[in-house]
Amino acid sequence: MHVVFAIGQTLRMAFAMLWKLFWPLSLGFLFSTAVEVMVSRAQMAKLLPDASARSILRASVPGAVSSSRSYVTFAIARSVARKGADFAAAMAFQVAATRVDVVDDMGSTNVDARPAATPTKLAHRCGFN
């Protein structure tokens, strides 16, 4: 009887995990598709043309405002970069939007930690500068 109960618990947990991952993945692909379809290459190159402070700020503000998880931000940043935005600006959006939540024993989020790497450092490491 313990085996049947354990299998049931495992299936329930697997379904709960799938359900939690489905929505961020779906939204990420939906928003990424919207960028691909609705924004032209010329518009994106005009909006985020280089790694200047202005372009980084333009990319960071929407990223910081969104409460997205990495599934969404990776897909959108990829679409933005493919559409002609500067790599550092696309990474600025991704870094600004990605949050790592630290959860205490009671289940409440108490710290919002940001990644230490800057978009310019990431671009330099990848050979874009």
Q: What is the pLDDT of residues 61-91, one digit of tens each?
A: 888 877 666 677 888 888 999 999 999 999 9
Tokens of 87: 């790599």
pTM of the model: 0.61
- Provide the domain limits for residue 120: 2-125
What is the rounded CA–CA span in Å between residue 37 and residue 19?
27
- pLDDT greater than 90 at residue 123: no
Q: What is the pLDDT of residue 38?
A: 94
Which has more pLDDT, 114 or 30?
30
Can you tell me whether residue 110 is helix, strand or coil? strand
Q: Give the alpha-carbon dihedral of 78, 83, 87, 89, to 10 degrees.
A: -90
**Per-residue pLDDT reduced to its tens digit, 90-119:** 999 888 887 654 444 455 554 444 554 555
**How many domains would you assign to the chain?**
1
Q: What is the pLDDT of residue 104?
A: 43
The pLDDT mean for the chain works out to 79
